[in-house]
Homo-oligomer: A and B are copies of this chain.
Amino acid sequence: MSESQFTMGQLTTLCTLLHNHKWKHVIEAEMKERGYKFTIGKVGAMDLSKIVAAVETSAKAKQVIDPNSYREIHALYHAIIEAIQGIGRGTVQFGDILRTVGLTFCIVRGEAEFAHHKDEWISVCLSGTIGAPRKGYEHDVLGFGFNHI
């Protein structure tokens, strides 16, 4: 499989996992060639609302979505919540249940073709660690969300 065979969602997750690795450049080059808009960032918190805010803010600041379009904000919001459900695995809570997260995120927006229709979609990957609020007492975690925009 060449890079061009990765789906938009796969590129999103690879971008998150490889952000410190040399392969990252191949992934980013592929996303740029396809005309995708994307942003990569980091956020750590026990407060869930800070995670949502950090991801949303990054997407608006980097023009991945139009910060004045509620429609686009709505599409992104639900994709973020879906990704957080993968992080939470059963309950959408961090500090409330005494766990903290340290996450790298990647948000990608672009055209994808499904059943002969080419439309815009958005995908969100959150990847990092979850655990006790004590360095080293945390394990890997990953969540992914996808929506039409």
Contact = CB atoms under 8 A, between A and B. Distances in A.
Nearest to A119: B71
Contacts of A89: 82, 85-86, 145
Give the interface centre of A73, A89, A135 by most chain B CB atoms within 10 Å. A89
Interface in A104-149: 114-117, 119, 121, 123, 125, 127, 131-132, 134-149
Copies of this chain, complex-wide, total: 6
A92 interface: yes
Contacts of A74: 131, 139, 147-148
| Consensus secondary structure, chain A interface | mixed
A149 B148 CA distance: 8
Interface string A55-94: 0100000000000111101110110011011101111110
Contact of A139 (B9, B20, B52, B116): B9
Nearest to A118: B71
B115 A139 contact: no
Contacts of A9: 139-142
16 contacts: A13-B17, A49-B98, A52-B97, A68-B116, A71-B148, A75-B148, A77-B99, A81-B97, A85-B85, A86-B142, A114-B136, A114-B138, A115-B134, A115-B137, A140-B144, A143-B144
